[in-house]
Structure 1
């Protein structure tokens, strides 16, 4: 006999009416009626006498109601005690590194929910490049990292974010490229470009343009995109980046133009393989895995 079914029976007994009980339990009346019939069949006895619009408990029903009250009260008390104990004992700090991408908003939502449930938990947030975050993960200075592909993940356990990031160029709003809905490789030939210093990103650009990096008009490289916005505004060059980084900063003097054909990559949630993590970190990883599977 399940606790759920006992709760259904007890609510019906209290209300004396299937419709009102179904409303309180937030289930349909036919479902509740079927559950009651199954319970009576399981116990081999009638629990209610149907009189007009009211249900009257039989002797067996009265006995079961008393026992159900005891069982449900004990179950509720036990569950509450475990919940209180979990909130008191479950504490610690999670150190997280995150690149500039839309994934930061997803991470913020998950952290807000987690910390609301476990008020003893706190976090340290580090923003940086993928290389910075990988280095700190390897040294044990970070528990978790949010990295942007292309990235080497063979030494990490990883979970892919559900949404992909589009690549393109950030241009000044008066640039001829700003009028386009998408930019093709041939339209960037000779255009002054600023690109990430990461070799993986430069290879991505080479593959899309089908041109070696040393034959492009690369006027500069950067690590954090925040520093590039003033350069784009002053038309020093167009900056290669992901769409999420431009949306987060919401600069009215610039515009993001996606690549055509489209190039998209995933953000990945990573932690060091074979490293012993704290219970708090493990619980947060499980929360993320569950959220992304939902």
Structure 2
């Protein structure tokens, strides 16, 4: 006996009519009649007493009704338990590293949808420099990370995020530079600069065509942008940074000047190769892939 046919049988028993049961089941009357007739033939007994107006269960039909209700209850319960089990697989914890960038908002938007779809999943965000995040990723303390290019990703799977990160110069609002709306690359060579100590960033800056063969006056380096605001405000130097790193900060005493010609890089979502992600972390990666 098929589960489907037992559902058909119970619908006819409930409605006491092939026509009404067919309507409820959204199938044709001939189809339903054939299924009930076939069930009676398989069991070698009449399940219904048929009159012009209604169908009544026979003694065998009453017996099958009780059995069918038990079978369908167990079937539905088992299916629900498997569904619950699937949900339990997505009730873990995800640790995510994220640099300060425009794509921090991208992560927030993806997580908003993700936890709405999987409310039992919890997460933690670690904000820091790319070096700090990579170190924690390599130690297995983070499942996924959003890093700012240029960054070496040979050890990781990566997904390039579409939102571009625009490079520029953070200057004091009291500086003569604050009168500008943008800054030419070649002008950087005459300005006391603060920049990231990361080798990849240093090499990127040196590779800019207009700065080749020019000596930059780098007076200091920084890892996190919040350390830089007071240095810039007090005219220690102007900071090379991306615009997104200044988001949601008090910028009343500083100004961002985009570099021209425009310099942009991307953020990448990365996770380690040759490891098995947890089901919840793997599902979040799928969410990013589907989105982008």
TM-score (norm 1): 0.71
Structure 1 unpaired stretches of 5+: 1-59
- CA drift of 1:85 comes to 4.9
User: Structure 1, residues 87-116: CA drift from partner, whole Å, max 9, x if none?
Assistant: 345211101111110111111121122122
Partner Cα distance (1:172, 1:159) in 2: 35
Partner Cα distance (2:205, 2:236) in 1: 19
User: Structure 1, residues 38-95: CA drift from partner, whole Å, max 9, x if none?
Assistant: xxxxxxxxxxxxxxxxxxxxxx9866423228xxxx9xx89x9466554345211101
Aligned to 1:231: 231
| Correspondence 1:98 to 2:98 | yes
Partner Cα distance (2:174, 2:107) in 1: 34
Structure 2 unpaired stretches of 5+: 1-17, 28-71
CA contact (8 A) 2:149 2:265 kept: yes
Aligned to 2:153: 153
User: Structure 1, residues 181-228: CA drift from partner, whole Å, max 9, x if none?
Assistant: 221122222211001000111111112242468x21111001111100
- Matched residue of 1:235: which SS? coil
TM-score (norm 2): 0.71
Aligned to 2:206: 206
Partner Cα distance (1:155, 1:212) in 2: 33
Comparing 252-261 with 182-191, greater Cα deviation is found at 182-191
Q: How large is the RMSD of aligned CA atoms in angstroms?
A: 2.4
Aligned to 1:67: 25
| Correspondence 1:121 to 2:102 | no
Gap change, CA 1:205 and 1:61, over 3 Å in 2: farther
| Correspondence 1:216 to 2:174 | no
Partner Cα distance (2:149, 2:248) in 1: 18
Partner Cα distance (1:251, 1:120) in 2: 37
Partner Cα distance (2:281, 2:235) in 1: 44
